[in-house]
Amino acid sequence: MLLQYLDDKSEIKDAVRMAEFVFEELLERAREKEEKEAKKRKRLADEFYELLHASKWLQEIAASSKWEDCKSLFEDRQVASFAFIDLELVTRLQGPLENDN
């Protein structure tokens, strides 16, 4: 009986250690994926900022603008990649951009 208890206890400890190892590995993968996505979002936001900075379109975009209405301004660009941009953010950027010109 005592021997069975010790065997069971050992198996449980092993199972817990394995679960912790697997959990840590999955957690690390999730962190890596999130970092990759964050870098991608930052790169796209930087590209969008540069696109706006190099253009005169900013005067046509306001916080109340809808993305669907603004797509035509970027007709030769891949607008789908910029779809995550918050137009309110664009409006906040308008002030610094106007000061640069």
pLDDT digits (tens, 9 = 90+) for 89-100: 665 665 554 554
Count other C-beta atoms under 10 Å from residue 90's C-beta.
Answer: 20
Question: Does residue 76 carry a pLDDT above 60?
Answer: no
Confirm whether pTM is higher than 0.75. no
Residue 79 buriedness (CB in 10 A; 0-12 / 13-18 / 19+): middle
d(CA 47, CA 38): 14
- Rounded mean pLDDT, 63-92: 65
CA-to-CA distance for 72 and 79, rounded, in angstroms? Answer: 9
Q: How far apart are CA 46 and CA 85, in angstroms?
A: 11
Higher per-residue pLDDT: 57 or 1: 1
